[in-house]
A and B are shown apart, each in its own frame.
Chain A
């Protein structure tokens, strides 16, 4: 089959590889019908996440038709159409019982690697480094799905793939970000980063009762998309715009009740601080560039909440913890507990309350994927979301 492979930093290639086979009794094999490139895949592309191996199959956002199931799989069968969550959960450990699916004890074959780096291991993830399990990802024609009784969500309607595909990651991630923001009726919520997760966080914030959302980004197409969702846009790249001043100006000096950092570890800031992080990460003196997080902590109102769906990977420098303490803020973060959100969010899509496919800007083939990683990383061609049809030879964009 064809698969998109990580071949080194800034090096993605499409290769012919062997088809996946059942390896465990709870495995399923899917014929992938749609898959997407996630903003967090760019962190792998840029070499920010350690323990990638040359030849790793990329991709953690995918859906497909069940091709084959292992001897112990009872929830899905050949021919079923399913969306697969990017985190893998066993359903039986202490954490799965608490519905902290992303903290599952039993799905990461390389848990020891994560324990060495972080003290504890989370669940396994598809196509996202070997410390996260080393599972082959779904930017391919077929994919193996472990613990198939627990993860895959059956789609039993005739909605097109594109409307349900983002239940695999970005929609639940944006929704959990809004839920983690502890939004009360009438609140003002600020969102850093208007990529797919930011867009879903904005939509979800309104669904959860926010009176006003302020969207922060530097790309016109993303800001325009946020504005269409009803957000007030702040373009931080514009001359004379200071994000912290803007947030005070529009909230009467109070600051947003909740701040959502949907940027993560590769923040771009135009100022001296941004340069500081760029130099330090280049010299390997710092692992992440936490510019958005710093601003979120500084901007949030006294006693407010900072919610962090953006991915962080290492040690952070110059985090304004004094401000966090002084204001008595709450911070909530982490990989999405996917399995709790997929079904309720599917219901919202079926009811027509939201159409997740409106973020898609590019439709491509597997062969075009390597080039599109570059295009998205370099922020050319107004990319908002790239969807891959693994069986198409050529697709009109």
Chain B
């Protein structure tokens, strides 16, 4: 079955992102540029944990609600497939995801195979230079109209920034066992300007819950 057949009505022009790595053959490789309806984002972070442990955390798709932004439910539907539900503001987005490549401790690639989201991604885990932990690189491609992209950016978080924040939360959780948050702390009267700033700064987007049982 070809990739085009797999990905129902909305066809991915390319099978999947590949070569997330920023260096190939001794040369720096820039991330793919947006175009042809595709939007790309590549981001990487150094995490103080083993590649095996980080791979296992990422591969355990149902636990992604702990750290994956705005993701309220992930249900495993098969060996390689899962059903994802995201809440963007008060809009519910659902899609099926399928794992395309699975190399334990090294790499996972996936793509959507139907639903409200048309995306494909890859994550690689490699030892950081000098034994400084594990470098985790995410390359994500998605298709979204300019209007939808703008509306998500204004109402909450730019989808590209969302990918970066998800990796940041993944890292915080892996390194500390929690995700830093400020929702629910005391403050004086906010007023209209403060509320506008909160939205502009992305503070109205809920922080994922983190792994450990919430305190209190």
Contact = CB atoms under 8 A, between A and B. Distances in A.
Interface of A: 1, 3, 5, 7, 13, 15, 17-27, 51, 53-57, 70-72, 90-94, 97, 105-113, 124, 130-131, 133-136, 140, 144, 146-147
Interface string B156-195: 0000010011001001100111111111111111110110
Given A54-B193, A72-B212, A108 B180 contact: yes
Contacts of A146: 180
Contacts of A20: 185-186
A57 B212 contact: no
A255 B187 CA distance: 48
A239 to B, nearest CB: 45
B48 A94 contact: yes
B185 to A, nearest CB: 5
Q: Is the interface of A mostly helix, strand, loop or mixed?
A: loop
Residue of A15, A92, A131, A140 with most chain B CB atoms under a 10 A cut-off: A92
Given A27-B215, A71-B212, A71-B213, A147 B185 contact: no
Contact of A57 (B175, B188, B202): B188
Contacts of A70: 215-216
B182 A134 contact: yes
Contact of B215 (A13, A22, A107, A111): A22
B188 A97 contact: no
A25 B178 contact: yes
Complex A-B, nearest 6 residue pairs according to Cβ-Cβ distance, in ascending order: A5-B188, A22-B215, A55-B188, A15-B188, A70-B215, A54-B194
Contacts of B198: 53
A281 B182 CA distance: 32
Contacts of A92: 48, 175-176
B182 to A, nearest CB: 5
B181 A109 contact: yes
Contact of B133 (A21, A94, A134, A144): A94
A70 B194 CA distance: 29
Interface residues of B, number: 42
A130 B188 CA distance: 15
B186 A53 contact: no
A126 to B, nearest CB: 11
A107 B187 contact: no
A56 B179 CA distance: 21
A5 B193 CA distance: 15
Contacts of B213: 25, 71
A378 to B, nearest CB: 23
B188 A25 contact: no
Contact of B186 (A27, A54, A57, A106): A57
Contact of A23 (B165, B183, B188): B183
A144 B182 CA distance: 10
Nearest to B188: A5
A299 to B, nearest CB: 39
A83 B1 CA distance: 63
Contacts of A109: 179-182, 207
A106 B171 contact: yes
Contact of B189 (A54, A93, A131): A54
B161 to A, nearest CB: 6
A369 to B, nearest CB: 13
B98 to A, nearest CB: 30
Nearest to A5: B188
Contact of A21 (B46, B197, B207, B216): B216
Nearest to B183: A23
A301 to B, nearest CB: 36
Given A21-B184, A94-B48, A106-B171, A53 B216 contact: no
B180 A93 contact: no
A15 B189 contact: yes
Contact of B176 (A15, A26, A131, A144): A26
Contacts of A7: 188-189
A347 to B, nearest CB: 28
A70 B216 CA distance: 7
Contacts of B132: 94
Given A19-B186, A23-B181, A136-B187, 12 more contacts: A3-B186, A7-B189, A24-B215, A25-B177, A25-B178, A25-B213, A53-B190, A54-B188, A56-B188, A90-B172, A91-B176, A112-B168
A342 B175 CA distance: 24
Contacts of B179: 24, 109
Nearest to A56: B187
A93 B48 contact: yes
B180 A53 contact: no
Given A25-B215, A112-B164, A54 B182 contact: no
11 contacts: A18-B186, A19-B186, A21-B216, A23-B185, A25-B215, A55-B190, A71-B215, A90-B176, A106-B172, A109-B179, A113-B202
A23 B212 contact: no
B210 interface: yes
A19 B185 CA distance: 8
Contacts of B91: none
Interface string B90-121: 00000000000000000000000000000000
Given A72-B212, A92-B48, A17 B188 contact: yes
Contact of A94 (B46, B180, B215): B46
Given A94-B132, A105-B171, A13 B188 contact: yes
Contacts of B48: 92-94, 97
B184 A24 contact: no
B67 to A, nearest CB: 12
